[in-house]
Amino acid sequence: MRLPDAYTWRARTLPVVIVCLPALILLVGGVAWRSSLGLATGLTISVASALASQLGRDRGRSLQAALWRSWGGSPTLQLIRHQGSQHQDRVVRLHTAVREVLGDTLPTATQEQADPDAADAAYEDVIAKLRGRTRDRGRFPLVFEENANYGFRRNLLGLRPWGLGLAVAALAITVLLVAVTKGTLDHRVAHWVVPAVLAFGLALFWLFIVKPDWVRVPADAYARRLCEAIETLREPSGAPAAGS
């Protein structure tokens, strides 16, 4: 069986594992408690989690377009545009580097203002080329790291309804199990306190941490690393990157 690569694990599989945590803890708790009710509820939530895993990447990618619209375009696109930039000299240097390395002559500020859609199309072509030229993890480790961080957070945001729902459901189930399972109250509380605390903590995580602004942080970092990589592309493939 082929193991998932580092990006697949971090950006696609790990978010689903986090979504499934309440179900997994309930399942383990149900087996340890030898309660058919605990086992059944854990299995039920595990099935729901498996369905969520099939939607994880798709939900993250479909959410991406809405995120970029709310941000005024992808962070990389915003770095390449003249419009809105507070550092026009950096944009000009970046355009010069693109022309030298990729051979693409990008729009001037005047051309961009006259036809912003055509300018964005030209910028998107260049961004696609940059992504294609920076896939070597060994040569562009920072690009890989920030891309994986962004994919992880974006996909978590896409799975947020599932994660929050499962965490709340798991919390409710632990309370129910304390009420209906056999044994002393102290024994039941002690047995189910760990799943309850975990479910409560995850519910807070989904409610207050997993938000668009949280995704924007690595998205901006990835955009910067991608644009900085053009300096590495100027060097021969065997040469060390500056500052390494």
**Residues of the domain holding 19:** 6-233
In angstroms, the CA 33 to CA 222 distance is 46
Is position 240 within any domain? no
Residue 239 has pLDDT above 70, yes or no: no
Residue 244 has pLDDT above 60, yes or no: no
Confidence at 60, pLDDT banded by 50, 70, 90? confident
Is position 184 within any domain? yes
Element (DSSP H or E) covering residue 78: helix 75-80
The residue type of 141 is: P
The pLDDT of 7-32, averaged and rounded, is 74
Q: How many domains does the chain have?
A: 1
Residue 1 has pLDDT above 50, yes or no: no
| Angle between helical axes of 88-102 and 116-133 (0-180°, round to 10) | 60
pLDDT score, position 139: 94
Residue 128's contacts (CB-CB under 8 Å, 6 or more residues apart) are none
Kindly report which listed range (54-68, 93-107, 122-136, 146-160) carries the lowest average pLDDT score: 54-68
Residue 23's contacts (CB-CB under 8 Å, 6 or more residues apart) are 42, 45, 46, 48, 49, 166, 170
pLDDT score, position 66: 93
Is position 239 within any domain? no
In angstroms, the CA 241 to CA 244 distance is 6
In angstroms, the CA 117 to CA 84 distance is 15
Residue 147's contacts (CB-CB under 8 Å, 6 or more residues apart) are 7, 11, 222
Secondary structure of residue 165 in the 3-state scheme: helix
Is position 54 within any domain? yes
CA atoms within 13 A on the CB side of 37: 10
Is position 22 within any domain? yes
Residue 8 has pLDDT above 80, yes or no: no
Is position 244 within any domain? no
Is position 175 within any domain? yes
Q: What is the pLDDT of residues 165-189, one digit of tens each?
A: 999 999 998 888 888 888 888 888 8
pLDDT score, position 3: 47
Kindly report which listed range (37-41, 85-89, 128-132, 180-184) carries the lowest average pLDDT score: 37-41
Taking the model in full, what pTM does it have? Answer: 0.83
Is position 123 within any domain? yes
